[in-house]
A = this chain, B = another copy of it.
Amino acid sequence: MKKQPTREKLLDITFEEVYIHGYNATSVDAILKKAGVPKGSMYHHFKGKKELVLAMVQERLFPKMDMFFKYEVKEGSSVYDSLKFTLLTVSRNKMLVTYGCPLYRLMVELSATDKEFDALLSTKATQMKDGITSLLQSGQASGEFIDALDTDTFAAYMLNAVWGILSVSPSLSSSKQFLKQSNYILKELKTYKLD
């Protein structure tokens, strides 16, 4: 078993800790202890706590988000089915269902008070929304959805609503509840379907 490079190990542990506890409740020492990395190593690789977490967001969090939202439709599959499949995949991810979306939770904690985090997280949120918009637009172009569908607004609604449902307290979350609730979003989208 090859030893993982220090920087990568730090990013992995930082993701885990910040996901569960949030940015402010996560201490550098806790990360270092869990990662088994001495302080000097961390401050060699990163300027400080904030730099570490910003790097984690870009190198761990964003790729994870991209894994879920592929923004592409499988051959022979409709946009609607593609979005439905994404929601199903999300519902099967225990961590997501239990602890919510790590991007959204960080945004809720930090966007109001930290410009740099807000810039980074909001940009990704916008990119994801735009991805869904494109998907819906392609569905419009292919005749799957009627022109009356406001693709950009619906994409924002879908993203925010899913985040809202996902990120409630773990004690109120379950895979079944997520599926049932997010189904209303799909049902609404179906309203704009032609075939």
CA distance A105 to B14 in the complex (A): 22
A155 nearest in chain B by CB position:
B181
Selected from B25, B109, B121, B164, the residue in CB contact (under 8 A) with A162 is: B164
Q: Are A187 and B188 in contact (CB under 8 A)?
A: yes
CB within 8 Å of B: which A1-35 residues? 20-22, 24-25
Given contacts A108-B100, A108-B167, A184-B188, contact A25 B113 (CB under 8 A): yes
Q: Are B165 and A161 in contact (CB under 8 A)?
A: yes
Give the size category of A's interface with B: 35 or more
Distance in angstroms from A182 CB to nearest chain B CB is 8
A24 nearest in chain B by CB position:
B24
CA distance A167 to B164 in the complex (A): 8
CA distance A159 to B82 in the complex (A): 26
Q: Are B169 and A181 in contact (CB under 8 A)?
A: no
A172 nearest in chain B by CB position:
B122
**5 more A-B residue pairs beyond the given contacts A163-B164, A187-B188, with a C-beta to C-beta distance below 8 A:** A118-B171, A125-B168, A161-B164, A187-B191, A191-B191
